[in-house]
Amino acid sequence: MRLRSHPWPQLVRKEWRELLSSRAWWVMIFLVGPLVGVSFIGAVRTYAEASGLGGASAGVGEAFSPLDGIWAPTFVAYEIAATFLLPFVAIRLVAGDRQSGALKLEGQGPMSPFSRMGAKALVLFGGWCLAGFPALVAGILWKTYGGSAYPPELASVALGHLLNAGLTIALAIAIASIAENPSTAAILVLSFTVGTWILGFIASLRGGMWELIAKFTPAAMLDKFQHGLIPLGTSLVALVFIAVSLGIASLWIRLGVSTRRRAFESAGLVAAAAALVVACAFVHPSWDVSENRRHSFPEADQEALARIQGPLHIEAHLAPEDPRRSDLEHQALSKLRRAMPSVEVRYVSATSIGLFEQTSAGYGEVWYELGGKRAMNRLTTEEAVLETIYGLAGITPPKETEPSFAGHPLIASPRGAAVVFFGLWPAIVAGFGVFVFRRRT
């Protein structure tokens, strides 16, 4: 009788060995340290200046949050690495099997294509998590400088970047499974990323449907997490995208199936995914984990708004590029959608910049309709919006009892950061890399 362990751990171990043999992964790990270093050192210096370094006004620093001042800019290094380095690592892991002929052998093994792609994704994700070590070091350094760290905010930023990496890995695996050549796969993955940037740009100009779609691009998703908001719907869309990409990869990595059949099955999977994404677009819950609760109204207002029955319709006559529209959206409407059970917002404009609409009758007006009553207010501040809604609902505005966020100003220089990120980290990675490669040869 032949006894053997389950093949899944064997497969994961094999993928891990392949990752460690990949120069692309070592290069990524090597570069992540200096990238984080540049971002972190710049962020600490800017934070110190804003906090009043060198006799500058301390007013800005008082409202400063490490989320905006330190974590978001430091983690930008991971956005760069996920865009320009991680896809190559993932493509190498998939395309290498095809080029070496290992695919033909492993395809005859006991694991399903989805399990095989899952093992690759898992290992790549693990490899990416190791690349997160410099961020951890940055956090420790920041604490040694006396900086403040609010764990939920940090967790939100880290989660956003992990989801973003998951999207990149899944997309790269899917494309590398379809494309015969790794260079083609690399071009296609980068084209997708650049395409989402273009989509975001068009959305900012055109609004409407473009804006709706652009909400689900990786950059838009990351932006929310980096500002301390964990949106359930967007997170679900990302998870659907990851699952579907791995599903498509499994369809294309199978042996003995015609291209036509793979294409049909992929189209079916994409159609099912599109339905799921549309369903996820209606999932509105989100969690504001920012220390200053920037995505929420004060507690008393939140409670008062939650009690208002009936749908609230808002019609804003503001063009996509009008700064007032951005103010209205960020200061009030995004919070309102989270606070009230039913809010419908409609933007009306004839042009994208609104410059030549200023003289048109009605431009700049924001109309509110609640329970059959209508009111108009041109102001786009949080206070003005709340006042109008309370007026329509016939509610007395609650008294503000929350103290305003004090901020965590800190005048500190990034001591030791350059040595750690530009010297120690590359040296350690290079040392480990040489050790691993010498053991193999």
Partner 1 sequence: MDEIGNPLDSHIRPPIVTVSGLSKRYGSVIALDDVAFSIHRGEILGLIGPNGAGKTTLFECVAGVQPADRGTVVFGTGYETARRGDVLFYLPDGIAPWPDQSVEWALKFFLDFFGGRRDLVDDMINRLDIAPLRRKRIGALSQGQRKRALLAMGLLTPQPVLLIDEPFEGLDLRQSREAAKTLRWHASLGRTLFLSIHQIMDAGHVCDRFVLLSGGRVGGEGTADELASLAGSRPGVTAPADFEEIFLALT
Q: Which residues are CB-neighbours of 430 under 8 A, at least 6 positions away?
A: 30
Token pair of 19 as six digits: 């990752």
- Given the structure tokens 């389950």, which residue do they identify? 6
| Residues between 355 and 414 with contacts to partner 1, criterion CB under 8 A | none
| Alpha-carbon gap, residue 302 to 129, rounded angstroms | 37
CB of 253 to partner 1, least distance (A): 12
How many Cβ atoms from other residues are within 10 Å of residue 302's Cβ? Answer: 18
Number of residues that bind partner 1 (CB under 8 A): 29
Nearer to partner 1, 180 or 303 (CB): 180
Contacts to partner 1 from residues 83-102, by CB under 8 A: 97, 100-102
- CB 255 to partner 1: min, Å: 5
Crossing angle between the packed helical segments 151-178 and 86-100, to the nearest 10 degrees? 30
DSSP assignment string, 301-344: HHHHHHH--S-EEEEE---TT-HHHHHIIIIIIHHHHHHSS-EE
Choice between 198 and 255, CB closer to partner 1: 255
Candidates 34, 42, 52, 107: give the one binding partner 1 (CB under 8 A).
107
Q: Does 2 bind partner 1 (CB under 8 A)?
A: yes
DSSP for 63-132 reads T--HIIIIIHHHHHHHHHHHHHTHHHHHHHHHHHHHHHTHHHHHTTSSS-HHHHHHHHHHHHHHHHHHHT
Nearer to partner 1, 22 or 83 (CB): 22
Asked if residue 434 binds partner 1 (CB under 8 A), the reply is: no
Using rule CB under 8 A, residue 17 touches partner 1:
yes
Q: Which is nearer to partner 1, 109 or 362 (CB)?
A: 109
Q: Which of 64, 36, 38, 80 is nearest to 222 (CA)?
A: 80
Interhelix angle 151-178/218-226, rounded to 10 degrees, is 170
Are the beta carbons of 90 and 168 closer than 8 angstroms? yes
Of 5, 359, 396, 401, the one binding partner 1 by CB under 8 A: 5
Q: Which of 359, 396, 401, 441 binds partner 1 (CB under 8 A)?
A: 441
- Choose the stretch contacting partner 1; rule: CB under 8 A; options: 9-17, 136-144, 223-231, 373-381: 9-17
Taking contact as CB under 8 A, which single stretch among the options 15-23, 48-56, 390-398, 406-414 is the one that binds partner 1?
15-23
Q: How far is the CB of 96 from partner 1 (least distance, A)?
A: 8
Sign of the alpha-carbon dihedral angle for 103, 107, 111, 117: positive
Binding segment (CB under 8 A) for partner 1, from list 13-21, 48-56, 301-309, 406-414? 13-21
Residues 6+ apart with CB under 8 A from 52: 58, 61, 409, 411
Give the per-residue contact string, 247-276, with partner 1 (x = CB under 8 A; - = no): --------xxxx--x---------------
Distance CA 372, CA 222 (A): 38
Q: Are 179 and 185 contacting, i.e. CB atoms less than 8 angstroms apart?
A: yes
Q: Which is nearer to partner 1, 109 or 423 (CB)?
A: 109
Q: Nearer to partner 1 by C-beta: 14 or 293?
A: 14
Q: Which is nearer to partner 1, 1 or 209 (CB)?
A: 1
Question: Where on the chain is the footprint of partner 1 (CB under 8 A)?
Answer: 2, 4-5, 7, 10-11, 14, 17-18, 21-22, 97, 100-102, 104-110, 255-258, 261, 440-441
